[in-house]
Structure 1
C-alpha cells in the first residue's frame, strides 16, 4: 500500500513539474520578440500591398459561390477549402480559447484579439496564395500543399531544414488534445459515463471521416460548419438581446481593459498591459491561425487557375472566426457575473454562462453544438497533422501517424486544459517562425501575381 502511495506521489510530482515546464516554455516562446515579428510582418505586407486585398473582400465573398473552377489545379471548391480551414478554427479556439483569454487577460484581451485578426488577414492572403503557387502532385490524392511545400519548392533545398521544422511542429501543434479534453469535460459533466467512452466515440468518428480523404473532409465541413455556426450564433444573439442593457458597460470594459487591465471585467490584480496584449495575440492566433501556416494545408487543395483568388478567400476566415464567433462568445460571458467568480474554466465557463441566461434548454443545446464544433476541429487537425507527418517522415511511415494522434485523443481527458492548450501554443509559436520567413522571402511572387490579377479584374 505504501509502495502504491509512493508511486502515485511520483506521478503527481511529475505531472505538476511538467505543467510548470509547459507554462515556462509558453512564456519564453510567446514573448515580445515573436509578437513583434507577427506585427512587423503584417505591417510590411500591408505597406507592400497598399491595403489592396482588403478592398477586394466583396469579390472574395463572390468567389465562394463558384461551385468549382473549370481550369486550374486542386480538388476542392473555394467554399470547400474555406470551410475545411474554418473547421480547424471555428470551434474550441473560438469558444474555450476565448473563455481562457478572458480568465487570464481580462476583457481587454478581446480588443487585442480583434487587432491581431485584422492584421492576420493580410498574412493569410500571402500564405494561402503561396500555397496554391507551390504545391505538388502526389498521384491519386491529387495536389497537396502547405507551408512546408511553399518553403521547399519556393526557396529551394537550402531551406529544406526550415520546411522540416514547420512540419515537425505542425505534427504537435495540430494534435487535437485541447479539443478532445474540452469535449470530454462537457460530455462527462452531463453524464456518469467512464472518462474513456467519449474518447472512443470521438476516435471512431474521426477515423471514418478521414478514410474518405480530403474530398470527404471538404464535404463534411461545407455542410456541417454553416449549420453549427448558425445555431451557435442564434444562441449568442438571444443571450445578448436578453442582456442588452449591459452591452454599453461591456463595450467600455473591453476598450478600457485593453489599456488598463485592472479596470476590466474579470481584471486580475497586478495584470500588466503586456500580459493582456500577449494573451489576446496568442488566443487570436490559436483562434484563426493567421501566421501559423496551418490554414495553407486546407487552402492549397482549392481548384483555381489564379492563386490570388484563394488568398482572397482565406482572408474571410479571421472575419468569421475571430470578429464574429469570438466576439459573440466574449459577449455572452461578459454579460454574466461569472468571470472571476467561478471555478469553471474554458468550455465549462461558456456552458455555465449560457445556462445562466437560458436555464434548462441552453446547456443541452450547447452540448450538442460544442460536440460538433470540437469534432470538426479534431477531424481537420487530424488531416493537418497527418499531412505534416507524411512530409516529415515520408508517405510510407507518415500514414501511420494518425494512430499516434488517436492515442493522444484517448488519453486527453486526463490532461489539464491549461497544459493542453500550452503545448499547442508552444508548437504554434515554433510553426509561425518558419512560416513568416517564407512569406517575407516569397512576398514578391504574390505581389507580382496580385497586381496582374487586380489589373485584369478591373476596378473593385
Structure 2
C-alpha cells in the first residue's frame, strides 16, 4: 500500500502542478470573457429559471427524463458533499486562510465553465437504446469535435468510470464512517453496510428516483447547514472582519507557521484552494453535464443558466460559510484538519450541539453525493460498453461503499484528487475547442429574448 500511495502521490504532484491550475483557471477566465461575464451578470436570470423549472415546459416532457430543477439537484447532490465541510477545512489546513480566496476565484470563473458544460451537454446529447437522454463530455467530444477526437471522449469515460469510486464513493463513505464513529462511536464497517443498503434502495429506481430523492434532500440539507453556519457566524460576528482581512492577505503573501499550523506559501494557498474548489463544485471536471443532459428542455442555454447556479451555491455560499466559521474561530491553527476541524469550529460556538450538526450534515451531504456520482459513473460505463454494463457497474458501486468506509482517509483523498485532474483534462480541451458553439448559442438566445421583449413593449 505504501508503494502505491507513493506512486499516486508522484502522479498527483504532476497532474496538479502549475499547468493544471493555469488550465482550470485559464479556461474559466477565457469562457467568462468570451461570454462577456454573462454568468455573473445573469445570475438573477438563472434563479428565475430555477424557480420555474420544477416542471418541464409544455411539450418538453419527451425531451428528457427529469425537470430542469431535478437535473440541477442531481448535479448538486454530487457536488454538495464532503468538499463543503472536510474539503474546505483541508484547504485551510494545508494552504492557510488564503486558500479560501482561491476557492472563490475558481468558483467565479467556474460558473462560466459549468454553464458551457451544460450547454454542450444538451446540445450534443443522444437517446440510448432504452429511450433515455444521455450526454456529457464523452458525447459532446464525439458529436461536436468529430471522429478524430473520439479517443478523447473514450479517455474521459474511462477516467470518469474509475474516478467515481474515489471522489463519489470512497471519499464520501469514508467521511461518513469517520464522522459517525467520532461522534456516535459506531464502527466504520457497520456505517458502511447501512449506507450501502440505503444507497442500493435509491439506485434501483434509476435517474427518476435519484432526481426525486436529490430534489427533496439537497435543498433541505443545504438550507439547514447554511442556517447553522449563519448562527455560528452571528456568534463570532466581531471576528468576521479580521477573518476576511486574513483571508485576503494570506491569498497573496502566504502565512507563516502559527500554533499547530505548519505555514504555507502563496503557492500552497493557490494549489489547495483551486484543487479543493474543483473537488467541491466540480466546474471543469465534466461530471455535472452528465446530469444536465437528462433535463427536460429543448434549449441548451436555459439549462446552462440553471447549471451555473450549482457552482455559485456550492462554493460562493456553502463553502464560504464553512471557511468563515473555521477562520473566525481561530481553530485553524490548532493542527486539526478535515471534518474534525469544522466540527471543532461549530462546537466552539454551539457547545454540545455544534459537532453533531456537522456530523449529521456531512453524513447527508456525502450520502447524496454517492447517489449523484453513481449516475455519472453509469453513464460513463454505458458510453464505453453499452446499457448492458449499467447493472453490473451499479452492483459494484454499491459493494464498494463499505470498502471505502474502512480505507485510510489520506489514501482515499489522494486517489480522488489525482483522478479529478485526469478527468478534467479531456473536458477542458473540449470546452475550448467547442467554445464558438457556446458563444453562438448564447448570442442567439439573448438576441431572441431582446426581440421578444421589444415586441411585447409595442
TM-score by length of 1: 0.92
Match among 404, 421, 427 for residue 413 of structure 2: 421
Matched, 1:277 2:265: no
Q: Structure 1 248/266 Cα, relative in aligned 2: closer, same or farther at 3 Å?
A: farther
Deviation string 1:260-317 (CA, Å, 9 cap, x unpaired) is 2225978955532112101111011001000110001111111112101111111111
Map 1:89-104 → 2, pairs under 5 A: 89-104=79-94
| Other-structure match for 1:68 | 56
Deviation at 1:426, TM superposition (A): 1.1
How far apart are 1:49 and its partner, in Å?
Answer: 2.0
Query: 1:2-21, aligned counterparts within 5 Å?
Result: 15-21=1-7
Aligned residue number for residue 363 of structure 2 = 371
Matched, 1:87 2:77: yes
Count the aligned residue pairs: 445
**CA spacing shift, 1:52–1:266, aligned 2, 3 Å:** farther
Residue in 2 that maps onto 1:409 = 401
1:170 aligns with 2:156: no
Q: Is the 8 A contact 2:189 2:406 kept in 1?
A: no
Distance in 1 of aligned mates of 2:381 and 2:69:
26
Q: Separation in 2 of the partners of 1:221 and 1:187?
A: 22
Quick check: 1:218 aligned with 2:206?
Answer: no
Q: Secondary structure of 2:411's match?
A: helix
Distance (whole Å) between structure 2 residues aligned to residue 372 and residue 150 of structure 1: 32
Q: Partner residue of 2:102?
A: 112
SS at match of 1:153: helix
Match for residue 357 of structure 1? 349
CA drift at 1:205: 1.1
Aligned to 1:12: none
1:312 equivalent in structure 2: 305
Alignment of 1:17-36 (within 5 A): 17-36=3-22
Normalised to the residue count of structure 2, the TM-score between the two structures is 0.93
Residues 253 and 265 in structure 1, CA contact (< 8 A), matched pair in contact too: no
**Structure 1, gaps ≥5 residues long:** 1-14
- Residues 1:125 and 1:156: Cα distance change in structure 2 (over 3 Å): same
In structure 1, the residue corresponding to 2:434 is in which secondary structure? helix
- Cα offsets for 1:205-229 (capped at 9, x unmatched): 1111111111111111111111101
Deviation at 1:418, TM superposition (A): 2.5
Is residue 130–residue 446 contact of structure 1 (8 Å, CA) maintained in 2?
yes
The 1:266/1:453 distance shift into structure 2, 3 A limit, reads: farther
Counterparts of 1:156-195 in structure 2, within 5 Å, are 156-175=146-165, 176-195=169-188
Output one character per residue of 1:235-255: Cα deviation in whole Å (capped at 9) or x when no partner.
Answer: 111111111111111111101
Conservation of the 8 A alpha-carbon contact between 2:281 and 2:315: yes
Give the Cα separation in 1 of the matches to 2:398 and 2:359. 22
Which residue does the alignment assign to 1:40? 26
Alignment partners' CA distance in 2, 1:398 and 1:302? 20
Partner residue in 1 for 2:284: 291
Structure 1 CA distance for aligned equivalents of residues 162 and 387 of structure 2: 18
**Aligned mates of 1:55, 1:71 — CA distance in 2:** 30
Contact 1:173 1:425 in 2 (8 A): no
Cα distance in 2 between the residues matched to 1:266 and 1:138: 57
SS at 2:425 equivalent: helix
In 1, the alpha carbon distance for the partners of 2:415 and 2:12 equals: 8
What is the alpha-carbon distance in structure 2 between the residues aligned to residue 86 and residue 454 of structure 1? 26
Secondary structure in 1 aligned to 2:285? coil
**Superposition deviation, residue 322 in structure 1:** 0.2
1:458 aligns with 2:450: yes
Identify which range, 417-426 or 239-248, moves more after superposition.
417-426
- The more displaced of 249-258 and 190-199 is 190-199
Give the drift of 1:413.
Answer: 2.8
1:328-407 → structure 2 map (5 Å cutoff): 328-342=321-335, 344-407=336-399
CA distance, structure 2, for counterparts of residue 379 and residue 418 of structure 1:
23
Distance 1:399 1:244 in 2: 51
Shift of 1:393: 2.6
What are the Cα deviations for residues 364-419 of structure 1, in whole angstroms up to 9, with x where unaligned? 33322222111011111111112212222332234311232233321123322232
Give a deviation string over 1:8-31, Cα, whole Å, max 9, x none.
Answer: xxxxxxx33333322222111000
| C-alpha spacing 1:63/1:266, structure 2 compared with 1 (3 Å) | farther
Show the counterpart of 1:261: 254
Which residue of the partner structure matches residue 456 of structure 2?
none
RMSD (Å) for aligned C-alpha atoms? 1.9
Measure the CA separation in 1 of the matches of 2:220 and 2:32: 34
Counterpart in the other structure of 1:232:
225
Listed one character per residue, the Cα deviations across residues 139-175 of structure 1 (whole Å, up to 9, x for unaligned) are 4452111111111111222212111110111112222
The secondary structure found in structure 2 opposite 1:335 is: helix
1:230 partner SS: helix
Q: 8 Å contact 1:389–1:399 — kept in the other structure?
A: no
- Say if 1:264 and 1:299 are closer, same or farther in 2 by CA, change over 3 A: farther
